[in-house]
Amino acid sequence: MPAKVIDEVIAAADWRGKVVIDCTNAVAPGMQLVFGHTTSAAEELAKKLPDARVFKSFNAQGAENLANPVYGGVQATNWFCGDDAEGKQLVRQLVEDVGFEPIDAGGLAAARLLEPLMLLWIATSRALGTRDLAFKVLRR
């Protein structure tokens, strides 16, 4: 859903105890983050849903990668973050089920780092002239 309709979606349901994954990107004109780096869209959502378990994930790639996140047999990386340990296991499993390599980036405050990844993905997409790309963490 677009970030601008979050308040409407919040009003439409009872979110108590639910695992909520914020995959939105709150972007202002000029491709700037609405919330900067002192908070994040996910943290602001958590304030609006104090009885829900809020996470950030699935925001740093094009929708095409949700359908097929594997490139040449290699899983693209998808980060997630949140403060609820039990909920994190559910989010990790969903990331794996979609086909990504999951990386736990820490508590919900890490959304301040994950949200700008979308801007990097868009800049890279424009520079390469394709949306058919994804991020991958390499290890030695």
List average pLDDT for each run of 10 residues in the chain, which is 140 residues long: 82 94 90 88 95 97 93 97 98 98 98 95 96 96
Give the model's pLDDT for residue 98: 97
Q: Where are the domains of the chain?
A: 3-128
Give the model's pLDDT for residue 139: 93
Give the model's pLDDT for residue 76: 98
Give me the sign of the Cα torsion angle 119, 107, 136, 92.
negative
Give the model's pLDDT for residue 35: 87
What angle separates helix 111-128 from helix 41-48, to the nearest 10 degrees? 140
Give the model's pLDDT for residue 1: 67
Neighbours of 36 (CB within 10 A): 12
Question: Does residue 38 contact residue 72 with C-beta atoms inside 8 Å?
Answer: no
Give the model's pLDDT for residue 67: 94
Cα separations in angstroms, 17 against 69, 84, 85, 112: 30, 11, 13, 23
The CATH code for residues 3-128 is: 3.40.50.720
Give the model's pLDDT for residue 119: 94
- One-letter identity of residue 31: M
Give the model's pLDDT for residue 16: 96
Cβ burial of 5 (10 Å; 0-12, 13-18, 19+) is exposed
